[in-house]
Structure formats: C-alpha cells, structure tokens
Structure 1
C-alpha cells in the first residue's frame, strides 16, 4: 500500500484552507460537510490539518512548508509530492463511507471508479450499518466468542447471505438473522492451485475467500499483485510446511 487509509474526525475542529477560487472553495465545502470549521492560515496554531489550493507552484510550496513547520498535516492540490495526506473520491451512504484513492496519481480515475460503485451499492446500506451497530450487544450475547461472531457476520454479509450487502432489503432481516443465524464451529481451510500470476484470472470464489481469509499461506513465488487481494490485516506467510491455522485459511500454490 502506498498510504495508510484513515478516516479523520474533524467535527468542530478548525481546518486551514489557503487559496481562493473554485479549487479552494471545493476544499472548504468538503471540510464543512464533515463538520469542520474552515479557517485562515493565521489560525494555524488552532488546527491540525490544512489544505493548500494555490495555482502558483512556488507560493503553494512555501505555504505548505510554513504549515508543516507549524505541525500541521498538509494537502497541496495537484502536488502529491508535497502532500502528507491525499483526498479520496468519496461515496457517501451515511454512516458508510467508501473512499477511493489513487495516491494523487489521478483524481479523475478515482472519481469514475466511484461513479461506477454508485450504481452498485444501494442507498439502504447505510441502514444496514446502523442496524448492525444498534444490535452490537445482541451480537455479543448471541456469539460471545469474537472469532465466531466475525465468522457469522462474514457468512451473513457475503453474496447470497441473509444480509447480502448489495441487497436493498437486508437491513430488515437483521433481527431474524441474529435469532436463527449460525457461525462456523471449526476452522476452514481452502487450497487453490493458481495457473496464472494475473489477479484478473482469479475465480470469483478464489477472490471472495481470499478477501475474507484470516491467514494466507502461499508459495514464495506467488506475486504481490495476488496477495494484496487478501484483507489488509490478514496474516500472510510463505508456505513452508504444516503451519497451524485458525479461522479461515487460504493456501495458494502455483502449478508451475
């Protein structure tokens, strides 16, 4: 990963915006939409974040250096090499936020990926998230063990599950699922033999299980482009022997 994705809460916090015109106005609107208070550079001592939206490259670089010396994290429009953080393209399904980033390489590409997702992700997914949050204590009571609770959620939220994330009516099924849903009682192990180094050649089942896996054991020659399809926090290690496994484990081997 080129960056560590974070969601920064700025409600009620001052955020510096340096610049004028449409580019600066867009940054200010984004700050205000998230509950932040837009302020000038003169108030930088009260802020932790800053946006610099200046067309003049030298002026933008100078402003960024001043703000960084004051201890702020800075984003400079169209200058990714000067940025401490970058802005993703945002799909808002309150309280669900989907952020798409290219690390500053192409804001247009991120935008069009977001537009494609707009047509796939139902508006009701926000209700599903809120419903699961409201049922947190019931979930803990139903499945006291954290691994079993996560396994039950995975099975419910996956494609075709009772709480399928892309089905508009899933939020209305939460109560019934908590009462009658099940979790995997035993660790699950899936082994795949890959015939290609291209991640686009993964089958739907392989990609889905790789994205859910707690542990990925792999031949050392499996390329990073495939391994990054696993969860970012999944344990990944070369396949050397009979390693102990727990939770959902995916084993990747090469046919070559």
Structure 2
C-alpha cells in the first residue's frame, strides 16, 4: 500500500473581506458576478487598479476579454502583493471562487480548482437538498453554549467526544435534523459526558478509504490518537481529524492507550 502523502491542488480558506477594498476589473456578466460575490461578503468593490492598490486591497478579480490585457493586469497586481483571480484562466489564478452553499454562519464551499464550475454547482445543488435551513441556527446555538459546555466538561478531549456523539447521525444534535437547534440548551443542561476512550483496531481491506465502513470512518474521524502499521496509505490517514496525534507502529504492535480514543490501523 502506498504511504506517499496525497496532494491537493489548493489550500481551502475562508477570507474575511467585510469593509475591505477588493479590486474587480472588467465589464460584462462575468465581472458583475464577481462584484456580487464581493458585495455579498461585505467587501467594497473598487474598479480602478491603482486606487485599489493604494487602499490596501488584498484580493483582485479580473474579467477581461483580451487575454494579453488580463495577463498583464494579473502580473501588475501580483507584483503589488495581491492575490489574483482571472476569470476562465485557471493558470493565472492564485485562488478560485467555489460554489457556495449558504447556511450562515455555516458555509459549504465546493471547488474543482477551476476544472469545472458546472460540476461544483451540481454538487452544491445536491447538498442543498440535504442540509436543512436550520443548520445555521444550530451553529449559532452551539457557539452560544460554548462557555456552558466548557464549564460542564472542562477537559477538551471529553468535550470534543461529547460533541462528536451528539452531532453523529441520529444523535440529539444531528445536523440533518431540522429540530436539532432547539435541542442544544437541553443537551448542554443534561449533564451529558463524552464517549469513553479505549482502543479500536481497524484492519484495512484495501488502500481505498471508501472501503472503510461507516463505523470505521466515524471512529477514525473521532480518534485522539491514530496508530498505524507500515503500509497504511496516507489516503486513509487523512480521514482522521487533522489535530489527532499520529504514531507509526511495528506490524502487530499495540501501543499503550492514553486517555481518549485510540484507533489502530493495520495494513
């Protein structure tokens, strides 16, 4: 099994532009679409390059029919320290704009690295049908309950495991349940505790992470420590929480179990 680290083409980020200048150059439908995106995020559209640079803009969109002019503008803006998006020219882009599913403050951004905006839109529309409008309210309620939850569960690991359990499918705060937001206060007040730790072994059937069962994928995504034998592919390891500890072990070895959930991946 290949353990090389899988690469992604872009680093997904959410960029806050509210009240900030953003350069949008060009005219026509494509330029107007970029202006709407900027304004929707609270940014201040500036349509003059030098004015935007002087005002400290950090992002720029270029929607120009002349490819040479677009490339020249991109070079000048990049030399001034801005990140640049050139419509329909992914090779000139420092960033691309995803298809956005809005459940403010929950935002789901779907990107294809500029390969197919149509595919990104199709995926967004599928997800629109799955994610209820109440998802944003659930996020706000959880944010408001953060202090109370921290007081009830001071240990960060236990707090995270409690949230993992509550937010799991069919849990009391299942994000796909339209009534979940109404249950947050009751759940926090109930004295719920995190799921216990322990050691769970997962024997891989192949190098394909899609061959993980739903239970195995859930455990891997909740683990505090992931111990993996030689030959476990990085494509499986990346399914673990980004902040979970990882340790390589010898074939057949069982590590000492610290507090929390340990998942042992065996090739």
TM-score with structure 1 setting the length: 0.92
Structure 2 residues not aligned, in runs of 5+: 1-7
What is the aligned partner in structure 1 of residue 262 from structure 2?
249
* Counterparts of residues 7-22 of structure 1 (less than 5 Å): 7-22=14-29
**After the TM superposition, which of the residue ranges 231-240 and 111-120 deviates more from structure 2?**
231-240
1:27 CA displacement:
0.6
- Partners of 1:14 and 1:214 lie apart in 2 by 41
Q: Secondary structure at the match of 1:119?
A: helix
1:123 CA displacement:
0.6
**After the TM superposition, which of the residue ranges 216-225 and 39-48 deviates more from structure 2?**
216-225
Q: Secondary structure at the match of 1:233?
A: coil
- Of 224, 229, 241 in structure 1, the residue corresponding to residue 234 of structure 2 is 224
- Of 111, 125, 142 in structure 2, the residue corresponding to residue 115 of structure 1 is 125
1:246 CA displacement:
4.3
Q: Secondary structure at the match of 1:75?
A: strand
**After the TM superposition, which of the residue ranges 2-11 and 209-218 deviates more from structure 2?**
209-218
Please provide the CA RMSD for this pair: 1.8
- Partners of 2:38 and 2:123 lie apart in 1 by 22
> Is the counterpart of residue 42 in structure 1 residue 50 in structure 2?
yes
What is the aligned partner in structure 2 of residue 87 from structure 1?
97
Bigger relative CO (Cα 8 Å, ≥ 6 apart): 2
Moved over 6 A (4+): none
Contact 2:163 2:194 in 1 (8 A): no
Contact 2:161 2:222 in 1 (8 A): no
1:7 CA displacement:
1.0
1:81–1:249 distance in 2 versus 1, CA, 3 Å: farther
1:187 CA displacement:
2.6
1:232 CA displacement:
3.1
TM-score with structure 2 setting the length: 0.88
What is the aligned partner in structure 1 of residue 34 from structure 2?
27
Q: Secondary structure at the match of 1:55?
A: coil
Q: Secondary structure at the match of 2:130?
A: coil
Contact 1:155 1:183 in 2 (8 A): no
Q: How many residues align?
A: 254
1:50 CA displacement:
0.6
* Counterparts of residues 120-135 of structure 1 (less than 5 Å): 120-135=130-145
